[in-house]
Structure 1
């Protein structure tokens, strides 16, 4: 996922959000699904639930990005935002965000519904599709739990994980079932358990790239273990993902002047997932921090492909979204480039310098102007 937020930022934001969210957000866990939608009964119905891009792929929390320091908003735009959006931008300690909570647990609800109906279809001749649907539902549930844990719990701490609060783990669609907040350890154990089963049920690769696969599950495992500071497992899972496909986009072949330089389902994408969108993230409103922009060297093609001048001298805007748009729905899925970086970091953390540099140079070869690249 491309939202790389420091543990200090995550820890602070988690404290601020937790203080205001759990009371009001618990209401969503008690709400019943809309009965007018009808009860899904067939494999096709369940596949449609899991294939809903808006329902499962494009509504992951963006609070971390809203609060990050790699962009800024001019006062005239900021002052026109609602109270919540201003509060997250300013790191206000009184934050209530039902929408973020609801979006995450809606994915959990969809997954639980599918998992509960699947056993009634076991006599079907479509056993392979049933198996894949089970893996898909477990993948999305683990993905939702992981994102929710990053926003509504503290960063993973092995020493205190058994006592620190995690998130509520809804494992059934029954809204009358008791709900309580699980520990951090229970939260991560559930994510790992779901993913382990998902890996066994998913195809190695998948099309379209909005559907999960073994490669996507390995990528999620890599991110999960990186967040837990288990660098050995993070590196192993990143490597497993890359063994199933490691194609990179050579940025020397990408137009530096294109308003939208990347297609949504491009050659680096392992799985397409996006944050909840907002106009503050589009190039017209969100401005890239100049210090961040200038940290890219002039021969680094990302400086020209990811960013553009924003009109006012010294202002820049982001345009390198792997979602293939500029509407504010930022990509937070999995890519081969990210897996190279995870594997490189895992190697470096374990003092395997040569392996780390090999991965970094492999990526840089596809990011730096060809005439100036040297190993």
Structure 2
């Protein structure tokens, strides 16, 4: 029976992936396409780690300031869009997978939700709830990855007028994609996460599947991005009530090629971006000023970075939470949630909680013989400390682009990014229209959606 189901689901996936990149959102589906019919079929789709947990957009990682390239390395890159994204000069994009992979997750989530609606919830209430919650989680996560990459920074005062993303909420493919407003987009992401919270179990056996704490963390991340710090605090707190463990970096082997284990106890939800050679530890040099921010007795300095033997004085990144190179981890971890709660706490006047959280993180990152607890109670100065630690902790973890978009709205933290290639300087000004990456051209031409402004 299981063999037959796997063959059946293989047909579903093959049929789905045979749809061309350009037609994915806007052509009618093959009427003969197999579709899932039971909760067991849905489980198989949810457990497809390669589709559901990998291949998310990396344009924000390419364009951020975690690293720099030497001219020779930039010139040697074969992918035109990656080269141009690095210097913020892209005027057209044909890398459809930067967009399409996330919408594959949306499509499968919608297929699953369509099946769930037709089931009797009383026949297997636990499985029904788990599948329902997981599908809403994956759809929320995928939508958020697209929104972070392809929309302008979220401002409460303008979100209802700014362009958001297409909200594909039905499994059918024979209708045009329409960009909703930015507010509608984030409202849907929040709604999906809340349904996930209500239905997911506290724990699951499979590493790639979300659980209740995972959905709390995802929602905390979203609320931080839209600067609703009170809600970010509440959902981060709810997550840490369920899952609070941190790695003690003292116990890791800094001499290992990739010292941080995949699926370690901090990982709430494993997810990775597309394989992106420009981000390889052998090409991307860690930002020099950022490297110097790590103290001598900070274990992250040895665990995150390796010296480049052929380019003395520069460093590559080896601290992947996916235990791999050039495929950035974009999932959720308890360490990120501690930072969300710490930042949100200080912003809403809970200074003692902020101090507790940042010190909890740092005592697991710094040699105990040299660790000195942070005691700063001035909210302004404490916020700067927490943001600096967030910057150091979450390097190459998929959060820097959204942090730049959010913090650039504050005069205290805005930053102009600078690249130099072959003696020529390129600049990305705060709040530039280029913080919304261009949508792939074939998606625009097939759907008729408006392209992001330039």
The aligned counterpart of 1:18 is none
2:263 is aligned to 265
Gaps in structure 2 of 5+ consecutive residues: 1-19, 374-454
1:165 touches 1:181 (CA, 8 Å); kept in 2?
A: yes
| Distance change in 2, residues 1:211/1:123 (3 Å) | closer
What CA deviation, in whole Å up to 9, does each residue of 1:265-319 have, x standing for no partner?
Answer: 1011111111112222222222212221111111111011110111121110100
Q: Are the counterparts in 1 of residues 28 and 175 from structure 2 also a CA contact under 8 Å?
A: no
Q: 2:85 aligns with which of 71, 82, 88?
A: 88
SS in 2 for 1:29: coil
1:65-144 to structure 2, matched below 5 A, reads 65-79=61-75, 80-96=77-93, 97-122=95-120, 125-144=123-142
1:313 aligns with 2:309: no
Paired with 1:296 and 1:184, the residues of 2 have a C-alpha distance of: 36
Distance 2:269 2:347 in 1: 26
1: distance between equivalents of 2:30 and 2:69? 38
For each residue in 1:220-260, what CA deviation from the matched residue of structure 2 results, as whole angstroms up to 9, or x when unmatched? 11000001101011011001000001111111111111111
Structure 1 residues 33, 58: CA separation in 2 closer, same or farther (over 3 Å shift)?
farther
- Alpha-carbon contact 1:219-1:339 (below 8 Å) kept: yes
Instruction: Normalising by structure 2, report the TM-score.
Output: 0.74
Aligned to 1:331: 329
- 2:206 aligned residue: 208
Contact 1:205 1:244 in 2 (8 A): no
The 1:37/1:307 distance shift into structure 2, 3 A limit, reads: farther
Partner of 1:20: none
Q: Which residue of 2 aligns with 1:39?
A: 35
The residue number in structure 2 matching 1:148 is 146
The one of 269, 292, 295 aligned to 1:294:
292
DSSP-derived class of the 1:371 partner:
coil
1:322 aligns with 2:318: no
> Measured at CA, do residues 173 and 195 of structure 1 come closer, stay the same or move farther in structure 2, by a change above 3 Å?
same
1:52-81 per-position Cα deviation (integer Å, ceiling 9, x unaligned): 111111111111100112112233332232
Q: Per-residue displacement from partner, 1:165-223 (whole Å, max 9, x unpaired)?
A: 11111111211224311111111111111111111110012222210111010001100
Structure 1 residue 38, shift from structure 2 partner = 2.9
**2 CA distance for matches of 1:270 and 1:198?**
14
Deviates more, 1:93-102 or 1:116-125: 116-125
Structure 1: 5+ residue stretches without partners = 1-23
* Aligned residue number for residue 238 of structure 1: 236
Contact 1:87 1:95 in 2 (8 A): no
In 2 relative to 1, CA 179–279 (structure 1 residues): closer, same or farther, beyond 3 Å? closer
Q: Cα distance, 1:32 vs. partner?
A: 4.9
CA RMSD of aligned residues (A): 1.9
The answer to which of 252-261 and 91-100 deviates more is 91-100
Contact 1:348–1:356, Cα closer than 8 Å, also in 2: yes
Of 231-240 and 170-179, more deviation after overlay is shown by 170-179
Q: Deviations over 1:314-342 (max 9, x none)?
A: 1101001011222x111111111111110
Q: Which has the higher helix share?
A: 1
Query: What is the total number of aligned residue pairs between the two structures?
Result: 351
Give TM-score, length-normalised by structure 1. 0.89
